[in-house]
Copies of this chain bind each other. A is one copy, B any other.
Amino acid sequence: MHNHVPAPRLADARPVVPATGALTPLPLDDVRLTGGFWAERQRINGEVSIDHCDHWEQRVGWIDNFRAAVDGTVAETRTGREFSDSDVYKLIEAMAWEVGRTGDERLDARIHELAALIGEAQEADGYLNTRFGRPGQEPRYSDLAWGHELYCYGHLIQAAVARLRTGHDDELVAIARRAADHVCDVFGVGGIESVCGHPVVEPALVELYRATGERRYLDQATLFVDRRGHGTLPDIEFGRAYYQDDVPIRDAEVLRGHSVRALYLAAGAIDVAVETQDDVLLDAVEHQYRTTLARRTYLTGGMGSHHQDEAFGDDYELPPDRAYCETCAGVASIMVAWRLMLATGDLSYGDVVERTLFNVVAASPSADGRAFFYTNPLHKRVPGATADPDTVSPRALAQLRAPWFEVSCCPTNVARTLASLGGYLATTSDNGLQLHHYAQCEISTTLGDGRQVGLEVRTRYPEDGHVVLVVTQTADTPWELALRIPAWATGATVDGAPATDVARLWRVFEVGEEIHVELPVAPRLTAADTRVDAVRGTVAVERGPLVLCAESVDLPDDLQVDEVLIDTTVPLQDHGHGARASGWVVEHDDTSWPYGPPVSLPRSRQVDLVLIPYREWANRGPSTMRVWIPTAG
């Protein structure tokens, strides 16, 4: 059992708090998941995954690195990659949101314990990193391209912002402010004129500015955003595009290079643009993100086509088997889409947030919250190996979810996202409330004009598409309830009336009043733009916001998924929260030259094709899997 401290009123307890913008996010205290899929994932995250990450970070020595730094032994004993400090900070950020959400005393105490250790390791001038700068180590900032020092500060600062916004102006915040001041001293005007090989300090500094009012943090973030893209960092095998140092962000056409780097930078640039009222910059990043959604994004919302450099491919280069779709890129894409929605008021960004949450973020953790996917391919040709729950895994091996990775950015990224998920469900404007996601929840908040409104969301969505909204607080004057209608939801209705894009209800609501939303989640066939070469001649099946997949464990006779075609002339049937289709078995020769004159496939026997939500694949042991299924005939 967890003990609970009284929760303070947390006016700013939300992941992103822009000074301006079309929409205002809700503090975690104003919106609570009360049941259903996301509440359950959030519960497991809080009860299992956060402790799991803490356990592994102790076990692999990443927390002890700080102790060794204090003791002067770190040059000899340090473990982990150059960025391992950042995972400790991401863990603290997850704990901070969880404490904010639940008031968990034990986690709160653990944050203080970790902060005390980290504080001891911080040097007098604010420098803080266990990998550089001490006797026997390479000098500070001697390898900006790969050293990740500013990246680590970024995650430290984000943890501190989470702490501040959940009502704790404590030693972690002081540490982060000292680090941020140090960054401004060293990398400000007249200082080192460079940037970090891995962006993330940019959004972090803007968020710290928002949380503290300290303008120099915003100025420093602006400097970092504008410095990048001018060949500041060294050229490397993958080219400077790898760390977005090839083209200034104001001039780029599309996201490129390392996906997580590109998306974190985009998030930071949006933050800078919003706080400095730089519409040109905002438009540039929005254009790049929209182009990326149109040409470089997988059906799941996943991003990144290359294993070699964890990078975006060229336009329409989206191979499902070699999809990298790093879990962290999913988290980062949500950061970008959410920020663009707040800035522009375009509720359709909620579609990509929802798609990415259900099909990337939710796909990463195992059902028990103790193992994670690092990459999220859409096609598995050969059954993977079951990961040993007691072993650290290389990040992208051909295996199933693993308990921990040598590069273990993803588990803590999932943890901090799930702990703060309530903050992404709804927003307010001057005179309205916008509901972005149909999760079972209770909302009680204040509109921009000061009126108190409340809503209860009752639904089993996306199991089915019935959503009942019950007004729980209202005013005696009209206000607007805006509901995102997903683009896929052809035939959606609100109180019986057809609805597309955004359903806007403007009236005097009454307490107890119900609004009925129907979102047709029946399974549907989806095809890709024909320029997505890798999936030509295939279809996927989607069900509501869920991408489905075929998994070999559902096929008879030890068939593998690559031996089956889908018959698109037979209607799909709803099947649990998945679907059922008709398939044909392909029979082929595996032993001769596979190229020759075009021929028709021989007709073969029929099989049932069960399709399950993609996020659930590999939960029943090793299997082959595919999202895009070749069509028969």
> Chain A residues in contact with chain B, CB under 8 A?
237, 239, 290-291, 293-295, 297, 299, 306-308, 313-317, 319-322, 379, 381-382, 394-398, 487, 524-540, 562, 568, 586, 588-599, 601, 628, 630
- CB-based contact A237/B397 at 8 Å: yes
A547, closest chain B residue (CB): B595
A351, closest chain B residue (CB): B593
**Residues of chain B within 8 A of A239, CB atoms compared:** 397-398
- CB-based contact B562/A597 at 8 Å: no
* CB proximity of A550 to chain B, nearest CB, Å: 14
- CB-based contact B528/A595 at 8 Å: yes
- CB-based contact B314/A598 at 8 Å: no
- CB-based contact A382/B601 at 8 Å: no
5 contacts between A and B (CB under 8 A): A307-B307, A313-B322, A322-B322, A531-B586, A536-B538
* CB proximity of A70 to chain B, nearest CB, Å: 32
A490, closest chain B residue (CB): B597
- CB-based contact A537/B536 at 8 Å: yes
- CB-based contact B291/A590 at 8 Å: yes
- CB-based contact A294/B591 at 8 Å: yes
User: With A and B bound together, what is the CA distance between A536 and B290 in angstroms?
Assistant: 28
User: With A and B bound together, what is the CA distance between A609 and B168 in angstroms?
Assistant: 67
A318, closest chain B residue (CB): B594
**Residues of chain B within 8 A of A536, CB atoms compared:** 536-538, 630
- CB-based contact A290/B533 at 8 Å: no
User: With A and B bound together, what is the CA distance between A6 and B599 in angstroms?
Assistant: 56
A534's contact among B308, B313, B397, B534, by CB below 8 Å, is which? B534
A598's contact among B307, B568, B586, by CB below 8 Å, is which? B568
Given A307-B306, A595-B299, A588-B529 contact (CB < 8 Å): yes
- CB-based contact B591/A315 at 8 Å: no
User: With A and B bound together, what is the CA distance between A40 and B95 in angstroms?
Assistant: 70
- CB-based contact A533/B291 at 8 Å: no
- CB-based contact A593/B293 at 8 Å: yes
User: With A and B bound together, what is the CA distance between A237 and B393 in angstroms?
Assistant: 9
* CB proximity of A83 to chain B, nearest CB, Å: 17
* CB proximity of A395 to chain B, nearest CB, Å: 8
- CB-based contact A319/B322 at 8 Å: yes
- Given A525-B598, A526-B597, A533-B562, 13 additional A-B pairs, CB 8 A: A294-B589, A294-B593, A306-B322, A316-B562, A317-B322, A321-B533, A525-B597, A527-B595, A527-B597, A528-B594, A530-B630, A536-B536, A540-B595
- CB-based contact A295/B597 at 8 Å: no
* CB proximity of A155 to chain B, nearest CB, Å: 24
User: With A and B bound together, what is the CA distance between A278 and B394 in angstroms?
Assistant: 38
User: With A and B bound together, what is the CA distance between A317 and B593 in angstroms?
Assistant: 15
A526's contact among B316, B394, B595, by CB below 8 Å, is which? B595
- CB-based contact A532/B319 at 8 Å: no
A590's contact among B295, B395, B594, by CB below 8 Å, is which? B295
* CB proximity of A599 to chain B, nearest CB, Å: 7
- CB-based contact B321/A317 at 8 Å: yes
* CB proximity of A3 to chain B, nearest CB, Å: 43
**Residues of chain B within 8 A of A487, CB atoms compared:** 593
- CB-based contact A527/B599 at 8 Å: yes
A524's contact among B308, B597, B599, by CB below 8 Å, is which? B597
* CB proximity of A541 to chain B, nearest CB, Å: 12
User: With A and B bound together, what is the CA distance between A290 and B307 in angstroms?
Assistant: 28
Given A239-B397, A525-B597, A590-B294 contact (CB < 8 Å): yes
- CB-based contact B308/A594 at 8 Å: no
**Residues of chain B within 8 A of A599, CB atoms compared:** 527
- CB-based contact A562/B531 at 8 Å: yes
**Residues of chain B within 8 A of A528, CB atoms compared:** 594-595
User: What 3 pairs between A and B have smallest CB-CB spacing?
Assistant: A529-B594, A537-B537, A527-B598
A398, closest chain B residue (CB): B239
User: With A and B bound together, what is the CA distance between A538 and B536 in angstroms?
Assistant: 9
* CB proximity of A408 to chain B, nearest CB, Å: 14
Given A308-B307, A314-B382, A315-B381, A530-B291 contact (CB < 8 Å): no
**Residues of chain B within 8 A of A396, CB atoms compared:** 237
* CB proximity of A502 to chain B, nearest CB, Å: 17
User: With A and B bound together, what is the CA distance between A527 and B321 in angstroms?
Assistant: 21
User: With A and B bound together, what is the CA distance between A551 and B529 in angstroms?
Assistant: 22
**Residues of chain B within 8 A of A591, CB atoms compared:** 290-291, 294
Given A239-B397, A307-B308, A527-B630 contact (CB < 8 Å): no
**Residues of chain B within 8 A of A595, CB atoms compared:** 299, 526-529, 540
**Residues of chain B within 8 A of A308, CB atoms compared:** 306-308
- CB-based contact A586/B530 at 8 Å: yes
A406, closest chain B residue (CB): B237
A385, closest chain B residue (CB): B239
A290, closest chain B residue (CB): B591
User: With A and B bound together, what is the CA distance between A535 and B322 in angstroms?
Assistant: 15
- CB-based contact B568/A531 at 8 Å: no
**Residues of chain B within 8 A of A299, CB atoms compared:** 595
User: With A and B bound together, what is the CA distance between A590 and B287 in angstroms?
Assistant: 12
User: With A and B bound together, what is the CA distance between A538 and B592 in angstroms?
Assistant: 20
* CB proximity of A37 to chain B, nearest CB, Å: 23
**Residues of chain B within 8 A of A395, CB atoms compared:** 237
Given A307-B308, A568-B598, A594-B528, A630-B533 contact (CB < 8 Å): yes
